[in-house]
Amino acid sequence: MNYVDETTLRPAGRTLAHADQSGVGSNAALGTAALGLLKRALPALGLSVVICLGLVQCGGSDSQRPAARVVAEAARETFKRTPTGVNVHVKSPAAHLRVRGPVELATGRFRALARGDAPPFLEQGASGVVLGTSGEGFETTYSVAHQSPAHPPRSQRCWSNPHAPVGSNRGTVSAEESVRVVGSVLESLRGEIENATESTDEEQAGAYDVTLRPSAADPRGDFRDTKRIWGDRNLLARLDGPIEVVVSEVGRISRLALRLRDYRPTLGLGTPRRAPRSAFIQAAIFPTDRQVHLREPGCVAVE
């Protein structure tokens, strides 16, 4: 996995070589002499000391560190948490979805409850369970129900693979696509940040505006010979502006917000052609004790 090259993330501002030279010579001489005395005296006392000079940054708060490093470290910490809860809200001119549930960021597995207005899979006011057995591929995505469009009602629950993203036929990002886009963004924030700046939104602490490198949108199709975990990366090529990323006080990603332009639903069974539309995705990310239970039932239907 590629991580952010910290050599490219030096903080802006004056360096030691460009510091004001007035009075530096005499002060530097005194400082060197004092430092020499300390080096000779402290070992005799069995002590070790880290000395931070005024012109050298040691540690520091998030406000003193480069924004890209803060976001990348927070994404890595978020990825360590298993499971992680997500609450995703998807909006487009013709439909809306809310998807909530636990995900395993390190494996791409998820189980989420979807609500909204995106028929025929989600009638207004109805809900349905959508799950993914990996982070990529329609073949690994199922809706859980007692019936499906091509099969009669059953007494037992079935996993149904509709060969179409759940909810996308109304021209909005589907339930599973929204979860996978959130996973893909979190995965790429660990080491594919093009630029990051602190947000100008004074009401949202810890907010950053982040753009990803073009490589974050690859591979565009099915995964082959890649170490990627999360798919649907072709959607990242349609990002409309920076991603808003919020880092919590404990140093994890707590919120993402992004907009996609020219979203085109994937054609599948029962999915009519739709004109491209914009879609807005907002996700809350939080710790959870709920596990991702994906025990395959005795009934698995493929449309």
> pLDDT of 204-213, one tens digit each?
889 999 999 9
Whether residue 152 sits in one domain with residue 24: no
Alpha-carbon distance of 221 to 152, in angstroms, equals 33
205 and 245 part of one domain? yes
Residue 190 domain-assigned (yes or no): yes
Sign of the alpha-carbon dihedral angle for 189, 191, 197, 202? positive
| Domain with 106 in it | 74-302
95-105 confidence digits (pLDDT tens): 788 999 999 99
Cα–Cα distance, 207 to 34 (Å, whole number): 42
pLDDT of residue 164: 56
- Residue 73's pLDDT is 97
For the chain, the C-alpha Rg in angstroms (whole number) is: 25
The residue among 69 and 117 whose pLDDT is bigger is: 69
**Range picked from 71-85, 132-146, 254-268 for highest mean pLDDT:** 71-85
- Average pLDDT over every residue of 236-256: 96
Residue 66 resides in a domain: no
Q: State the CB neighbour count (10 A cutoff) for residue 278.
A: 16
- Decide: pTM greater than 0.75: no
Same domain, 142 and 45: no
140 lies in the same domain as 38 = no
pLDDT at 135 over 70: yes
What six digits make up the tokens of 250? Answer: 């404990």
123 and 247 in a single domain? The answer is yes
Distances (CA, A) of 257 to 96, 122, 209, 254, 260: 15, 23, 10, 11, 10
